[in-house]
Amino acid sequence: MPRSDTVPPQADPAAAQAIAWAVRLRSGEAGEAERAAFRAWRQADPRHEAAAARLEQSLGLFDSLPGEAAARSGLRRALLAPANRRRMLRDTLGLLLLGAGSGALVHRQMPVNDLFADLHTGTGERRRYTLADGSQLWLNARSAADLAFDASQRRLQLRSGELIVEVARDPARPFVVETAEGSVRALGTRFLVRQEAGSTLVAVLHSRVALEPQAAAGSVLAEGASARFDRRAVYPESQAPRGIAAWEDGFIEVHDRPLADVIAALRPYRSGVLRVAPEAAGLRVTGTFPLDDSERTLAALAEALPIAVRRRTDYWVWIEAR
């Protein structure tokens, strides 16, 4: 079931501007001049007026809620209360027993009804799964993993791409992610694993993990650290795990990284070819860019760096040094 996180309003300039105005006016820093400018924009074109009115109408939903400050905070907490985990598990069981049609998975989380399953995502698609043991799994775009849970262990084979897992506690059954170069064993709760060409990148978001390259002694990676390993050795990495994991929220976040890294992160979100000329690949980039609107990201990079984005078609794009 392909699901896109992007929605069409960006394609409509009046809608995009109405949204941009709303974002600006809510910042807490907008003054009277800005409000007047908004009113002028709104009156300048009936399409502007229509777009602004539509957004207001949609947000009018909030008007039927109690207005006292204490109540508003309570409402927020109620909305952020997590879904009841027990029910999620019960439903997982229900799916297993029934085995009927698909298309029933409308919740934000996707329960995985099987102890052996092939999980995969397409171009531009991120997915969150709830596994049979209650663990949460996020799969980045163009990624694939095989699940193999049994009575003694929980194994997840990352075949390509990248995942973040939040492991449910089960002291009797270790949770292990396997890659082409070795395995990553959970000692705590939350970490990221990326299969790269010839190596595996691991970032620990919470607690610790044990890295076990196929032909070398294992080592432990602590919270807030990241590392790469191949079959023979582990190499420390300087990137912050939170930045590496930003795709979970739909962003690329880099601090002084080569342009080639940003482009590599963008590729699973685009169809066709996206190349960087060697002279441009090493340029350093710092910033946060949206993954779901890769055209905007390319435009932002072209503004910030001495590069030119050239294209033969939308499916053949290359980046050169200017």
Nearer of residues 13 and 272 to another protein, judged by Cβ: 13
**Contact 142/268 with Cβ under 8 angstroms?**
yes
Question: Dihedral sign, CA of 88, 2, 195, 163?
Answer: negative
Rounded to whole angstroms, how far apart are CA atoms 177 and 200?
A: 11
What is the nearest approach in angstroms of another protein to the Cβ of residue 8? 7
- CA 1 vs CA 22, 116, 140, 200: distances in Å: 32, 19, 15, 28
13 touching another protein, by CB under 8 A:
no
11 touching another protein, by CB under 8 A:
no
For residue 261, count other CB atoms closer than 10 A to its CB.
Answer: 14
248 touching another protein, by CB under 8 A:
yes
Q: At what angle do helices 259-266 and 294-304 cross, to 10 degrees?
A: 170
Nearer of residues 55 and 309 to another protein, judged by Cβ: 55
Question: Dihedral sign, CA of 67, 70, 71, 74?
Answer: positive
What is the nearest approach in angstroms of another protein to the Cβ of residue 141? 15
Nearer of residues 176 and 245 to another protein, judged by Cβ: 245
Which secondary-structure segment (H or E) carries 241?
helix 241-244
Q: Which of 40, 44, 98, 304 binds another protein (CB under 8 A)?
A: 98
107 touching another protein, by CB under 8 A:
yes
What is the nearest approach in angstroms of another protein to the Cβ of residue 138? 10
290 touching another protein, by CB under 8 A:
yes
Q: Which of 250, 300, 302, 320 binds another protein (CB under 8 A)?
A: 250
**Contact 139/109 with Cβ under 8 angstroms?**
no
241 touching another protein, by CB under 8 A:
no
Q: What amino acid is encoded at 287 in this protein? A: G
What is the nearest approach in angstroms of another protein to the Cβ of residue 206? 14
**Contact 159/146 with Cβ under 8 angstroms?**
yes
10 touching another protein, by CB under 8 A:
yes
For residue 5, count other CB atoms closer than 10 A to its CB.
Answer: 12
What residues between 28 and 87 interact with another protein by CB under 8 A?
A: 28-29, 51, 54-55, 57-59, 61-62, 64-66, 69-81, 83-84, 87
Nearer of residues 10 and 207 to another protein, judged by Cβ: 10
Strand 182-186 relative to strand 209-213, pairing = antiparallel
What is the nearest approach in angstroms of another protein to the Cβ of residue 67? 10
Q: At what angle do helices 13-25 and 32-44 cross, to 10 degrees?
A: 160
Strand 273-276 relative to strand 316-321, pairing = parallel
Which secondary-structure segment (H or E) carries 8?
none
Q: Which of 2, 7, 172, 217 binds another protein (CB under 8 A)?
A: 7
Query: What torsion, rounded to 10 degrees, do the Cα atoms 272, 278, 284, 287 define?
Result: -10
What residues between 164 and 203 interact with another protein by CB under 8 A?
A: none
Q: Which of 17, 18, 205, 245 binds another protein (CB under 8 A)?
A: 18
Radius of gyration of the chain (CA): 23
Q: Which stretch binds another protein (CB under 8 A): 102-110, 144-152, 179-187, 313-321?
A: 102-110
What is the nearest approach in angstroms of another protein to the Cβ of residue 118? 22
Residues within the interface to another protein (CB under 8 A): 3, 5, 7-10, 15, 18-20, 22-23, 26-29, 51, 54-55, 57-59, 61-62, 64-66, 69-81, 83-84, 87, 91, 94, 98, 100-101, 103-104, 106-108, 248-251, 288, 290
